[in-house]
Amino acid sequence: MTSAAGPSPRLLVRDAVAVLASAGVASPEADAVTLLAAVLGVERSRLPLIDVVSDVDRERFTTLLARRAAREPLQHLTGRAYFRHVELAVGPGVFVPRPETELLAGWAIEALRTVSAPAGPDGAGAPVVVDLCTGSGAIARSLADEVPLARIYAVELDPAAHGWAERNLAGTGVDLRQGDMAHAVDELAGTVDVITCNPPYIPWEAWESVAVEARDHDPHLALFSGDDGLDAIRVVEDVAARLLRPGGVVGFEHADAQGESAPAVFVQAGRWTEVRDHADLAGRPRYTTARLR
């Protein structure tokens, strides 16, 4: 029902769901609710408590709805993304963190806790972790949040993405570097306990199969990696072998079609043990871990 003062949130969401569904958005109802809550400045759970939406807010919602229907990422429209227990600022120029990557972050957190030791006044004795291809800083921020004693380094090559990481990691104590992951933290060689990386891993030939939101809005530097999608993973193997201490561990994400080819990069190198692939919550191959001999 629409009152003289304006339509109800329920009515706006109902109409928005139809628009988004016809545009091919995968989660039309959740996205419609999230957008309206963002416009009104309330939590999603409080929308039923609002009777009517003003004309000004309705116009703002309609504008955002049209952009989402054009497949602009939801997180770009709201300006924020959620990752494990933290909230991140995101927008054009940075890869939007995915829920699947939370599993890799969780593995790293548990790995760090197994080597955690009371740190001295200068941080001596604290576990050391490096997050390569940090993007928005999602993994590094989660590590800082859940393993505060760790010494955390994060590396990002792209200037725009580095700017977002700088914003998200401010005040966390993370040592953020802008540069090529191959050499950005060379001074740590042989001292690192844990390495994480969500590298680019999509083959160029898979261009057409990539979701519109990612293909048209995520930076291509964060998506594509050579003819077989493994170029960056090969660099991760080489860098991890130099940075890790003997017995240190590395974990990296890959495409679900790379459940055999991604671990094979490490197996064929001959300097790793416990090379294991891990599935995501949908049972799809998602990330590989390995331990340096």
pLDDT tens-digit series, residues 120-153: 555 567 999 999 999 999 999 999 999 999 999 9
- pLDDT for residue 3 is more than 70: no
Using one digit for the tens of pLDDT, what is the confidence trace for 177-212? 999 999 999 999 999 999 999 999 888 776 667 677
Beta 128-132 vs 175-178: how paired, if at all? unpaired
Domains 2-70 and 93-292 alike in fold: no
Residue with tokens 């993973």: 233
Coil, helix or strand for 290?
strand
Q: Which residues pair with 291 in a beta bridge?
A: 249, 273
Domain range annotation of the chain: 2-70, 93-292
- Provide the terminal-to-terminal Cα distance of the chain, rounded to the nearest Å: 67
Structure tokens at 144: 């800082």
Beta bridge partners of 292: 272
Question: Distance (Å, rounded) from C-alpha 75 to C-alpha 67?
Answer: 12
Please compute, for residue 281, the number of CA atoms within 13 A of its CA located in the half-sphere on the CB side: 8
Q: Tell me 23's DSSP state.
A: T
CA–CA distance, 117 with 242 (Å, rounded to integer): 23
Least confident span in 104-108, 119-123, 171-175: 119-123
Average predicted confidence (pLDDT) for the chain = 92
Residue 202 phi/psi, 5-degree rounding, is: -95, 130
CB 155 within 8 A of CB 131: yes
Give the predicted TM-score (pTM) of the model.
Answer: 0.88
pLDDT of 4 above 60: no
Q: Which fold has domain 93-292?
A: Rossmann fold (3.40.50)
Nearest alpha carbon to residue 253 among 135, 114, 147: 135
Cα 156–chain centre separation: 13
- Which CATH architecture best describes the domain 2-70? Orthogonal Bundle (1.10)
Measured on CA atoms in the order 50, 51, 57, 63, is the torsion positive or negative?
A: positive
Please, which residues bridge with residue 6 across strands? 3
Residues 177-181: contacts with CB under 8 Å, at least 24 apart: 177/153, 179/155, 181/132, 181/133, 181/155, 181/157, 181/235, 181/236, 181/239
